[in-house]
Amino acid sequence: MTQQERSEYRAKMRTAKTAEEQEQMRKEHHERMKERAAERGVTLTEEPPAGGRGMGPCGGQMGPGGGGMGPQGGVMGPHQGGGMGPGGHRGR
């Protein structure tokens, strides 16, 4: 999907009034994506991923904290480092 298509999809999902309506939108969207994938020789799963677990903003979360990287769920504030780049231990 293009960035514009993702934005439009998210906006449409926000208009759903019930969880059932969102689920129906997700299933319809997944069917369209399966068709597009087939045109490109790619196979998608029969069922869409669980709701709210895509890889866009706020999706792809891996635990109660959302980031799955320690007790704070991957949230890093000042002087916490933790990244794999240079300077990860600075300020400790």
24 inside domain: yes
Q: 20 lies in which domain range? A: 3-39
Residue 73 has pLDDT above 80, yes or no: no
Q: How many CB atoms lie within 10 A of CB 26?
A: 20
Contact 26, 48 (CB under 8 A): yes
- For the stretch 9-51, pLDDT in tens is 999 999 999 999 999 999 999 999 999 999 999 988 888 777 6
Contact 39, 32 (CB under 8 A): no
23 inside domain: yes
Element (H, E) at 23: helix 19-39
7 inside domain: yes
Q: How far is CA 18 from CA 21, 79, 87, in A?
A: 5, 42, 46
55 inside domain: no
Cα end-to-end span (Å), the chain? 42
Structurally, the chain folds into a number of domains equal to: 1
57 inside domain: no
32 inside domain: yes
